[in-house]
A = this chain, B = another copy of it.
Amino acid sequence: MAEGQAPAPYSNENLLFLTDEQLRQGIEAMFFAYRGFTADPDRILADLAYGRAHHRAVHFINRAPGTTVNNLLNLLGVTKQSLNRVLRTLIEDGLVESRVGRNDKRERHLFLTGQGKALEQKLSDAQRARMRAAFRDAGPEAVAGFRRVLEAMMDREMRFAYARLKDNAP
């Protein structure tokens, strides 16, 4: 493997030298951490009749109230048919409200109802608690590094979407 070769000593590249082993550890860290990341909301959702897809939809509708279906589609990276199934149950159950667009009446703008906000709170409280504990354990500089690496790992369009959400923050 090309990446298995050691760099010349004293080269600047040494600072950036990444062995396959280091990269593998990064990969495994992502895998195990993501399991932890989703574990708490998953436990809550198991009791209700909802799954992870509902959680994601509710999260982003809360984050960007009034978002269109198409926008949500891009954020979530699924097909409209897949999202529609989830949205339909959320609307039927009174967690999400879908309002026809004023300017463009083809578009539907999505909002959480009181009930929807309550579920979002419950789920994100659990997820934030773990994130807070991890951030606290690791310290502020580690958190900054964590964010830098994750941003660099995203696809281009998702990096933009992520930045846009940050700016639109309430």
**Residues on A facing B (Cβ under 8 Å):** 1, 3, 15-16, 18, 20-37, 39, 56, 59, 63, 77, 124-125, 127-128, 130-155, 158-159, 161-162, 165-166, 169-170
Contacts and interface: CB of A to CB of B under 8 A. Distances in A.
* Interface class of chain A by DSSP: helix
A151 B29 contact: yes
B142 A149 contact: yes
12 contacts: A18-B132, A18-B135, A20-B128, A24-B169, A27-B37, A27-B128, A32-B154, A33-B153, A34-B34, A36-B154, A138-B149, A143-B145
User: What 10 A-B pairs have minimum CB-CB distances, sorted nearest first?
Assistant: A145-B145, A142-B145, A134-B152, A33-B150, A146-B149, A137-B152, A138-B148, A134-B153, A142-B148, A29-B150
A23 to B, nearest CB: 4
Given A23-B132, A29-B162, A128-B23, A145 B153 contact: no
Contacts of A149: 33, 134-135, 138, 142-143, 145-146
A29 B132 contact: no
Given A142-B144, A144-B142, A152-B137, A131 B27 contact: yes
